Amino acid sequence: MTGPAYHVGTRELRTGAVMELIFLLNIIALAAGGILAASGFIVAQKPNAKELIDKLVPFQVTIGVAMLVLGLVNLLLQLVHGLIGLAAALMALLYYFHILSTI
């Protein structure tokens, strides 16, 4: 992908392969973590699911660490996105009050 990540004319945030990978990793980690968290309930409803859930148990720590890391990455991405939005709002106010004549 070439060019800026944010297109001013369309006000569109472009996402690349890295963001798509983070999105997919979020889905996988949250699904696996949710299954492990609700394993007691799932086994109570469907006893034959215990065999499938037992296959995830050895990876419980890895799934937890992945969820922690992805949570921190998402937090940083949201903070950066918020700061960009704040800067854009500040520029708009400066332009509106004629403190900044051209952008």
What residue numbers bound the domain in which 89 lies?
6-96
Residue 103 in any domain: the answer is: no
Average pLDDT, the chain: 84
Is the model's pLDDT at 3 over the cut of 80?
A: no
Neighbours of 47 (CB within 10 A): 9
What are the residues whose beta carbons fall under 8 Å from the beta carbon of 39, sequence distance 6 or more? 53, 56
In the chain, the number of structural domains is 1
- Confidence band of 9 (pLDDT split at 50, 70, 90): low
Give the type of residue at 66: A
Residue pLDDT, tens place only, 68-101: 999 999 999 889 888 888 888 888 888 888 887 7
Residue 79 in any domain: the answer is: yes
Residue 37 in any domain: the answer is: yes
